[in-house]
């Protein structure tokens, strides 16, 4: 199905083999390509919304807010304000005469009603164009209400999703340094880049607690404004998800000298590795002992069942398309642990370094793709004849139509897939999909090797 790939896209697709990985990436999406990416606003809200005791107000027409209302699996142990969808719902008159008055009134109305610890105000595509001075309105409301009211420069078209991450980090950084840090242990970290989908940050916090580490702030899963205010009191930033919160870690390093470690909580190898590296950082032999114990106990608990899944799944093939490349990397390793090979892997927002790392750990002949779209995906899936596809809501129906199993690894998931326990869940989900009897009736579509149809 070579016709599925437009000329302009060719540089963003790479097959591992002899030639070095020269994949192009971090570009704006091509018009008409039907990219799976969303926009800058998407990047911002993904990072900030899980801060559960803040008010998140979308300044713009209704679409941005209503399509994102409670779509995420980011859980909170307390307030659930982030699960509501607030918007200034700009109308035609607001576009003509400006939306500042409405923004001001909406902020006051909602802050009075909900008494949040802070407010984040997201600009959408038309805000800059109609000339609304969101900064000014936010400052005024902050003065009047006494809580931080932080504008987020998240106009949808101002770049791609990564620009949204940056805007979110800048916004959060305004809170950092405004809280008290006296009582914080020297063995302390912030967890960055985990959004507590299905309780994953609770799982990971538990590991760290058992190691003897205090977690100062969750950034941002089950996040709290006051924790973020004092997160500069931690000794180390542990950063998952290379793209979304690394900017914040860098800002904290520049301003407060706090170093950071890049980690991943997916897959046994990477989960254990992450814990060891954090323990190594603190150079405490007792902590290292405790860490070894945590890893040993956790792996013991899941190994028997995991082995059974591995037996059934060995030899099967997988395809992966996720948002951030770090996850793809961990998934390749996780599949390897289950005896499966990965025939295609890609991400929406990977960097050159990310793709190089991926190329290094993939088998020859693996397709690596950046910012793909439905037609490319179907051609890859048909070519490679995989048994399971890992992705999000927009990838799932494509997999199903092609007779391929699916693992929901996106932000809406309600299943915990991180940590050691998460690896077991992951294996279970892969197993349940691949082994279902339904594929007898909804057969895998023919590979291009078998197909007699010629591309029209």
Contact positions with other proteins (CB under 8 A) in 360-399: 374-375, 378, 382, 393-394, 396-398
CB of 222 to other proteins, least distance (A): 19
Which span (80-88, 133-141, 254-262, 290-298) binds other proteins, by CB under 8 A?
Answer: 80-88
Is residue 46 a contact point for other proteins (CB under 8 A)?
Answer: no
Is residue 30 a contact point for other proteins (CB under 8 A)?
Answer: yes
Is residue 188 a contact point for other proteins (CB under 8 A)?
Answer: no
Is residue 65 a contact point for other proteins (CB under 8 A)?
Answer: yes
27 or 307: CB nearest other proteins: 27
* Three-state SS sequence of the chain: CHHHCCHHHHHHEEECCCCCCCCCCCCCCCCCCCCCCCCHHHHHHHHHCCECCEEEEEECCCHHHHHCCCCCCECCCCCCHHHCCEECCCCHHHHHHCCHHHHHHHHHHHHHHHCCCEEEEEECHHHHHCCCCHHHHHHHHHHHHCCCEEEECCCCCCCCHHHHHHHHHHHHHCCCCCCCCCCCCCCEEEEEEECCECCHHHHHHHHHHHHCCEEEEEEECCECHHHHHCHHHCCEEEEECCCCCHHHHHHHHHHHCCCEEEECCCCHHHHHHHHHHHHHHHCCHHHHHHHHHHHHHHHHHHHHHHHHHHHHHCCCEEEEEECCHHHHHHHHHHHHHCCCEEEEEEECCCCHHHHHHHHHHCCCCCEEEECCCHHHHHHHHHHHCCCEEEECCCCHHHHHHCCCEEEECCCCCCCCCCHHHHHHHHHHHHHHHHCCHHHHCCCCCCCCCCCCCCCC
CB of 326 to other proteins, least distance (A): 21
18 or 112: CB nearest other proteins: 112
Is residue 63 a contact point for other proteins (CB under 8 A)?
Answer: yes
34 or 297: CB nearest other proteins: 34
Q: Find the binder of other proteins among 70, 144, 253, 293 (CB under 8 A).
A: 70
Which span (119-127, 239-247, 251-259, 320-328) binds other proteins, by CB under 8 A?
Answer: 119-127
Is residue 21 a contact point for other proteins (CB under 8 A)?
Answer: no
Which span (17-25, 233-241, 285-293, 445-453) binds other proteins, by CB under 8 A?
Answer: 445-453
29 or 264: CB nearest other proteins: 29
Is residue 445 a contact point for other proteins (CB under 8 A)?
Answer: yes
Which span (153-161, 244-252, 255-263, 383-391) binds other proteins, by CB under 8 A?
Answer: 153-161
Is residue 24 a contact point for other proteins (CB under 8 A)?
Answer: no
CB of 219 to other proteins, least distance (A): 24
The distance between the two most distant Cα atoms of the chain, rounded to a whole number of Å, is: 71
Site for other proteins in 204-243 (CB under 8 A): none
Q: Find the binder of other proteins among 253, 255, 363, 446 (CB under 8 A).
A: 446
Q: Find the binder of other proteins among 34, 136, 297, 301 (CB under 8 A).
A: 34
Q: Find the binder of other proteins among 26, 89, 273, 383 (CB under 8 A).
A: 89
Is residue 126 a contact point for other proteins (CB under 8 A)?
Answer: yes
């Amino acid at each position: 199905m070579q016709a599925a790939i437009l000329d302009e896209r060719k540089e963003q697709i790479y097959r591992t083999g002899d030639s070095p990985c020269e994949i192009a990436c971090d570009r704006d999406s091509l018009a008409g390509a039907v990219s799976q990416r969303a926009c800058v606003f998407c990047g911002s809200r993904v990072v900030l919304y899980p801060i559960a005791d803040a008010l998140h107000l979308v300044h713009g027409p209704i679409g941005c807010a209503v399509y994102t209302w409670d779509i995420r699996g980011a859980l909170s142990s307390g307030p659930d304000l982030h699960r509501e969808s607030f918007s200034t719902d700009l109308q035609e008159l607001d576009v003509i005469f400006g939306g500042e008055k409405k923004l001001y009134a909406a902020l006051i109305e909602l802050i009075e009603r909900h008494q949040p610890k802070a407010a984040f105000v997201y600009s959408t595509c038309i805000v800059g164009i109609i000339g609304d001075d969101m900064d000014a309105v936010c400052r005024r409301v902050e003065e009047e209400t006494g809580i931080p009211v932080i504008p987020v420069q998240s106009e949808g078209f101002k770049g791609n999703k990564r620009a949204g991450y940056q805007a979110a980090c800048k916004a959060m950084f305004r809170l950092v340094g405004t809280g008290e840090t006296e009582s914080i242990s020297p063995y302390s970290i912030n967890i960055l880049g985990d959004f507590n989908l299905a309780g994953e940050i609770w799982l990971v916090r538990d590991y760290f607690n058992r190691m003897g580490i205090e977690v100062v702030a969750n950034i941002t899963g089950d996040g709290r404004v006051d924790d973020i205010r004092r997160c500069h009191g931690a000794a180390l930033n542990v950063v998952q998800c290379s793209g979304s919160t690394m900017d914040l870690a860098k800002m904290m390093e520049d301003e407060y000298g706090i170093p950071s470690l890049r980690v991943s909580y997916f897959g046994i190898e990477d989960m254990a590795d992450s814990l060891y590296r954090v323990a190594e950082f603190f150079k405490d032999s007792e902590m290292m002992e405790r860490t070894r114990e945590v890893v040993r106990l956790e792996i013991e608990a899941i190994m028997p069942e995991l082995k059974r899944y591995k037996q059934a799944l060995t030899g099967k093939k997988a395809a992966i398309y996720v948002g951030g490349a770090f996850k793809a990397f961990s998934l390749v390793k996780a599949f390897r642990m289950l005896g499966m090979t990965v025939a295609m892997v890609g991400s929406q927002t990977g960097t050159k370094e990310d793709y190089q790392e991926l190329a290094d750990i993939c088998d020859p002949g693996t397709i690596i793709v950046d910012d793909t779209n439905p037609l490319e995906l179907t051609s890859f899936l048909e070519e490679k004849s995989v048994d399971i596809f890992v992705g999000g809501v927009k990838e799932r129906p494509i997999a199903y139509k092609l007779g391929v199993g699916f693992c929901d690894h996106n932000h809406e998931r309600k299943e915990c897939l991180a940590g050691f326990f998460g690896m077991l869940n992951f294996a279970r989900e892969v197993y349940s999909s691949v082994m279902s009897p339904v594929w007898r009736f909804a057969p895998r579509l023919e590979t291009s090797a078998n197909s007699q149809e010629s591309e029209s």
